[in-house]
A and B are shown apart, each in its own frame.
Chain A
Amino acid sequence: SQTIHQWPATLVQPVGSPLSLECTVEGTSNPNLYWYRQAAGRGLQLLFYSVGIGQISSEVPQNLSASRPQDRQFILSSKKLLLSDSGFYLCAWSVRFGLNVWGNSGANVLTFGAGSRLTVL
Chain B
Amino acid sequence: GNSVTQMEGPVTLSEEAFLTINCTYTATGYPSLFWYVQYPGEGLQLLLKATKADDKGSNKGFEATYRKETTSFHLEKGSVQVSDSAVYFCALTDTGRRALTFGSGTRLQVQP
Main secondary structure on chain B at its contact with chain A?
A: loop
B51-67 interface bits toward A, Cβ cutoff 8 Å, 1 = contact, 0 = none: 11000000000000000
Chain B, interface size category, equals: 20 to 34
Number of residues on chain A facing chain B (CB within 8 A): 31
User: Does B82 sit at the interface, judged by CB under 8 A?
Assistant: no
How many CB-defined contacts (below 8 Å) exist between A and B?
76
User: Who on chain B is nearest to A9 by CB?
Assistant: B41
**What are 22 residue pairs bridging A and B, where the CB atoms are less than 8 Å apart in the complex?**
A32-B99, A34-B99, A43-B89, A43-B103, A43-B104, A43-B105, A44-B105, A46-B100, A97-B93, A99-B95, A100-B51, A104-B30, A104-B51, A104-B93, A105-B95, A107-B49, A107-B51, A108-B32, A108-B93, A109-B49, A110-B44, A114-B43
In the A-B complex, the 5 residue pairs with the closest CB atoms: A43-B104, A112-B43, A104-B30, A105-B93, A44-B102
